[in-house]
């Protein structure tokens, strides 16, 4: 099944840029009325191929020019460049055009619910009633193993996401502490890391 769009987390992986950075760039593009991202039924930003192209360009420019250019500068370059498919606020639908489907997070929550597990167990039981007990037990055990593996996989991904989030928070805290240790005259000419934490 071909995916028409991706969410912020997947876009972050594709562009190789942290999700908070992409979120900040998206906020700036909308603030400057240059480009607007569509949102899904959960009010999360979604990225089509044309959006990925814009944000990949921003990442390349930031990497190439570093602090010599600002997000605002890049946004204005994008606005003037005909190679990008820009979306204005009025063209962003209030209700997504695509059919609402369960996201990975929705599926994770669903699989963890006891009612759902019992429901699946009931389906397995009804499906295996006509089979011999030996086959029935094997199918049931295989489904339980598969469900347990899925739950373990979900838990592992959740832990990884939490570790990544905590690492980002520690890095931000470290930057803030280093900034606060600077003498007042140096703070005037240094980039304030606290401005980057408010997204």
Q: Which tokens belong to 24? A: 């900040």
| pLDDT for the residue 96 | 45
In a domain, 97, yes or no: no
Quick one: DSSP state of residue 194?
A: H
Looking at the structure, do residues 26 and 110 belong to the same domain, yes or no?
no
In a domain, 65, yes or no: yes
Looking at the structure, do residues 26 and 47 belong to the same domain, yes or no?
yes
Looking at the structure, do residues 36 and 13 belong to the same domain, yes or no?
yes
Looking at the structure, do residues 76 and 113 belong to the same domain, yes or no?
no
Share of the chain above pLDDT 90, in %: 22
Task: Grade residue 102 by pLDDT with cuts at 50, 70 and 90.
Answer: low
Domain of residue 121, residue span = 104-197
| pLDDT for the residue 85 | 87
Q: How many domains does the chain have?
A: 2
In a domain, 96, yes or no: no
What is the Cα–Cα distance from 75 to 86, expressed in whole angstroms?
A: 11
pTM of structure: 0.46
- Residue 29's nearest CA partner among 63, 57, 67, 65 is 57
């Amino acid at each position: 099944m071909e995916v028409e769009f991706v969410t912020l987390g997947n876009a972050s992986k594709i562009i190789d840029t942290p999700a908070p950075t992409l979120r900040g760039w998206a906020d700036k593009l909308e603030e400057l009325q240059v480009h607007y991202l569509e949102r899904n039924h959960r009010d999360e930003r979604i990225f089509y191929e044309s959006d990925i192209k814009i944000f990949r360009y921003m990442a390349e420019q930031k990497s190439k020019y570093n602090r010599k250019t600002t997000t605002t500068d890049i946004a204005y370059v994008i606005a003037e460049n005909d190679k990008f498919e820009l979306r204005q606020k009025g063209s962003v639908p209030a209700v997504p055009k695509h059919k609402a489907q369960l996201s990975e997070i929705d599926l994770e929550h669903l699989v963890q619910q006891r009612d759902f597990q019992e429901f699946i167990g009931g389906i397995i039981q009804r499906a295996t009633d006509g089979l011999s007990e030996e086959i029935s037990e094997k199918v049931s055990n295989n489904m339980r193993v598969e469900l347990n593996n899925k739950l373990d996989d979900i838990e592992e991904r959740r832990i990884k996401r939490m570790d990544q989030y905590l690492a980002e928070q520690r890095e931000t805290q470290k930057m803030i502490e280093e900034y606060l240790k600077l003498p007042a005259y140096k703070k005037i000419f240094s980039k304030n890391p606290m401005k980057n934490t408010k997204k």
